[in-house]
Amino acid sequence: MNQQIYINGEYFSKENAKISVYDHGLLYGDGVFEGLRIYGGKVFRLREHLIRLWESASSIGLQIPITIEQLTKDTNDCVARNEIDEGYIRMVVTRGSGALGLDPHRCSNPQIIIIVDRITLYPAELYENGLDLVTAATIRNHPAALSPRIKSLNYLNNIMAKVEGLKAGCVEALMMNHKGEVAECTGDNIFIVKHGKLITPPIDAGILEGITRNAVLELAREAGIETVEAPLTRHDIYTADECFLTGSAAEVIAAVKLDDRVIGNGKPGPMTNQLNEAFRKLVRK
Ligand code: PMP
């Protein structure tokens, strides 16, 4: 693969794609990002991702210096140039380089970066059999401190929880919110199935509004499944009939254990499989 990385409208090889060490994206995690998927050479839900990127930027007072139309075009051009049919896109907008102090007004030239690459999903075995989760002691950021709706470059909150998961032998970890309710996983949203209903925490549980989450909710409603956005406790997950996670990278993946409690019959359930199939069809459309 002859990788070409986009920075502010120009293309560079991986070795030459560089930004300043004075960029506040590096110094303070001051910036926003998106992770998108390419299926059959097309970007999945590009518009939704760009709207979320603009909302994240707006929430931290960062003005993206080009229009959404221009970034749409540039993203599609970047995918075509990299000649990738099935892959992943990491889109980053930094605050730009400034002084060593916090003041973002002293930063100029936000860096818009698009990296098109192959994707490493979880091992195939986990898609077949489901994955195990553990509850992280690290809770999700308090929404009144830094809203989890902002996909910011400061992902330490999630990284700390991810490390807890990995230490326990789990590729994902469950994060609670400041109220002790289920929020989401470190890079994925969570759903359960109970008595035929599909239930997921609401946005105000302090979660990222996942693009895959929204797609799965739409697919469920189209299939006549009752969907509920309601606060969940760990007890609800332990006693669910089924549980699965969603994310651009992970897609739809069953979770079959939480904190060593077996969820349902310990296998990916029928509604999980149904929605997974519907999602596969949707992305191939
Ligand atoms: N929650 C968090 C914390 C995430 O970082 C992500 C994206 N990796 C998701 C949920 C899933 O969002 P999406 O479906 O838009 O990828």
pLDDT at 59: 98
Atom of ligand 1 nearest to the CA of 214: 14
Does residue 191 contact residue 220 with C-beta atoms inside 8 Å? no
Report, in angstroms and rounded to the nearest whole number, the Rg of the chain calculated over CA atoms. Answer: 19
Q: Hey, what are 114's tokens?
A: 């698009």
Number of neighbouring beta carbons within 10 Å of residue 285: 8
Cα 67 to ligand 1 centre (Å): 24
- Active-site entry in 42, 151, 162, 197: 151
List ligand 1's pocket residues with C-beta within 6 A: 35, 158, 184, 187-189, 208, 210-213, 246-248
Catalytic annotation present for 285: no
What structural domains and CATH numbers belong to the chain? Answer: 4-117 (3.30.470.10), 124-284 (3.20.10.10)
CA distances from 56 to 23, 140, 198 (A): 18, 17, 28
Nearest to 4 by CA among 113, 120, 153: 113
Cα 270 to ligand 1 centre (Å): 24
Does residue 131 contact residue 243 with C-beta atoms inside 8 Å? no
Angle (deg, nearest 10), helices 46-59 and 211-222: 130
pLDDT tens digits, the chain, 285 residues: what are they?
A: 789 999 999 999 999 999 999 999 999 999 999 999 999 999 999 999 999 999 999 999 999 999 999 999 999 999 999 999 999 999 999 999 999 999 999 999 999 999 999 987 799 999 999 999 999 999 999 999 999 999 999 999 999 999 999 999 999 999 999 999 999 999 999 999 999 999 999 999 999 999 999 999 999 999 999 999 999 999 999 999 999 999 999 999 999 999 999 999 999 999 999 999 999 999 998
pLDDT at 61: 97
Amino acid at 274: Q
Does residue 108 contact residue 98 with C-beta atoms inside 8 Å? yes
23-37: per-residue pLDDT in tens?
999 999 999 999 999
Long-range CB contacts (within 8 A, 24+) of 74-77: 74/6, 74/9, 74/114, 75/36, 75/43, 75/46, 75/50, 75/114, 76/43, 76/46
pLDDT at 145: 95
> How far, rounded to the nearest angstrom, does the alpha carbon of residue 22 sit from its chain's CA centroid?
27
Cα 99 to ligand 1 centre (Å): 31
pLDDT at 121: 77
pLDDT at 2: 81
DSSP tag of 225: -
Among 39, 208, 253, 279, the mutation site with the greatest number of ligand 1 atoms within 8 A of its Cβ is 208
Rounded to whole angstroms, the Cα distance separating 111 from 21 reads: 12
For the chain, the maximum distance between any two Cα atoms, rounded to a whole number of angstroms, is 57
pLDDT at 120: 78
pLDDT at 119: 86
